[in-house]
Structure formats: structure tokens, C-alpha cells
Amino acid sequence: MTTRTTTGLGSGLRAAFGIILLLAGSTVALATVAGFFGSLWWGFDLAADYRFVYLMVAVVCAVLYGLTFGRGMAAVFSVAAVVNAFVVAPLWLASQPRSATDTGVIVATYNAQRRASTQDRIVDWLRREPADIVIIQETTSAWTPVFERAELPYRIVLAPEERVVFGTTILAKVDAVDASAQEIEIVATKVIEMETTIDGVPVVVYVTHPRRPGSATEADARLRLFSALADLVAERAGPTIVAGDLGTTRWSHAFGTLTADGVLRSSEDGFGYQPTWPTMSWPIVGRYAGIPVDHILMSPGLTAAERRVGPELGTDHLPVVVDVRPAG
């Protein structure tokens, strides 16, 4: 009697395990295909953001399903893994143009999500971080006196005005970077335009933070913004940077409007997978469960000599730090 009960329980657990693998692997396979059709529907475009996650899940499902239940669906999951591996491969296999100089400007961008509790941690990070230009998004005017009292080696280039809820604070290292910034409007969206120099070369930096879409209207607004930014960069004669929490990854159709025809290039190329949102505390896999939505993009006249993500500072975003130099 005990043997039959144990066998029945084991069979049930095996069946449940198979169903879980089948559902997970099938969902990933369908999402893998859907991500290629982001131009048809904004929901498909959101699916494209999780390519690396799909790769990991597809590999696990293919191996476990193949060993336990057979090769049929395992082959489907394997195909999904290969497709996503091909898509994410440039993160490691692509390269940045060679630097023309040995010096540049280290640019950092971070989404602080208006959390006052993060201010002390950000200040402490800035004391240790060698960044020359620091872009902190989702701040308010209440943050300005915090940075002033901290006596950091930075001057405030731009600070949010009163009653601005989702503002941007830009800091530049004193005696190292000459920069000025102003707020402009592009297709009814507020964007920061900053002028600075990198190794004597004039550079314009556009900082933007479009809403991660939850509807077709929001997706269309973001697409128009990215398209207008790409046109603006293409019309400029000099080097340009686009930075900030773009709310999407390099694999989406929306992001592709920024990088089409080589107008802008991601600083991610050659530096591997560096997710920035949301931060996960899961052991082992938590580091790779997020997606890279915070970006620093550069026009062909610039290159990334180094790129990394910073520490957790109290929000579910991580800072992105890039050593930007003239390309030669």
C-alpha cells in the first residue's frame, strides 16, 4: 500500500514538473517569436526586452525536459535558446571603435525614483565614484540642498525647478568638466540638452526618460520621441550622446529607431550583459534576471573605453558608468 501511494505521488510530481517545464518553455518560445514583431504591436515590443532571460529559461527547459520526458519539445526549446543567443551575442562579440586619446569623460546616469531615502547613499557613492558628469533622473528641487551641503567635488549644472516631480539633476566635476544644460521640448516631450567637451571636442548630450509604455498611446509617444531624437542626432555635425532611463532594451523596435543607419551606437557593445532594472536579490540568477533599460548611446565620433554598472543605491535601478572618449 505504501509503495503504491509513493509511486502515485512520484508520478504526480513528475507530471506537474513536466507541465511546468512545458508551460515555461512554450511561453519563452512564443515570446521569442513575438519580440521580432514589435512594430506590429507595443505588447510584442515589450516582449523583446527579455531576450537574455528567454535564453536562460530556454536552456534550462531544453535540458531538463530532454532528460526527463523526451526530445520533441526539448528541440523546440533549444531552437528558442539558439535564436536568443544569436540576438544577444553582440553584447560580447561586438566591439567599440578604437579610442583616439587616452583620456575622456566618465559619464554616469542613474534613476533615483524620487526616493529621499537614497540621498545619503548617492552622496556616499559620488564621493567614491570617479565620474566627471553625473545624471540623476527622477529628482525634485528638494534634492538640490542635499548635494550643496554634501560638499562634493561637483557643481550643479542643472537642478529641477519647484513643483517639478520627475526632474533631472546634473552634476559636473569642478575644474574637470565645463558644461551647461537647458530643458528643451521634442515632440511634446521635455528633454535635457547639455553642452560639454570631451578632450577638447564639443559634445552635445541629450537626456531623456520616456515612460515605459502601458498602452498603444504611450508606445506611440515614445516611438515619436526616439525617431525625433535620431533625426536630431543625424542632422548634427558633431559628436552626440543620448543618455538616461529609456525604459527599453536594445532589442526592441523602439530602440532600433535610435540606432538605425548607425545614427547612434550602444555603449553596451563588447561589455557583456549588464542589466540595470529591476534589481533582484535572488541567489546566483538574480544578477541576470533584470534587463538593461538605462543607456548611454553615442554617435560615431565617440567610443566607450569602459562600461560598467554601479552598486545598488536604494532603488530598483543600477547606475550605468561609461568612460566616453573621441573615436579615432
pLDDT value of residue 27:
98
Question: Rounded to an integer, what distance in angstroms lies between the CA atom of residue 113 and that of residue 111?
Answer: 6
* Alpha helices by DSSP H, 139-178: 144-149
CA angle, 116 as apex, 114 and 120 as ends, to 5°?
Answer: 125
pLDDT value of residue 289:
87
Beta strands in 276-319 (DSSP E): 294-298, 302-309
pLDDT value of residue 5:
52
> Among candidates 275, 309, 312, which has minimal Cα distance to 292?
275
- Total-model pTM: 0.94
pLDDT value of residue 2:
45
Hey, what amino acid is at 43?
A: G
Residue segments in the chain with a per-residue pLDDT below the cut of 50: 1-3
Q: Which domains does the chain have, with CATH numbers?
A: 2-88 (no CATH), 96-326 (3.60.10.10)
pLDDT value of residue 182:
97
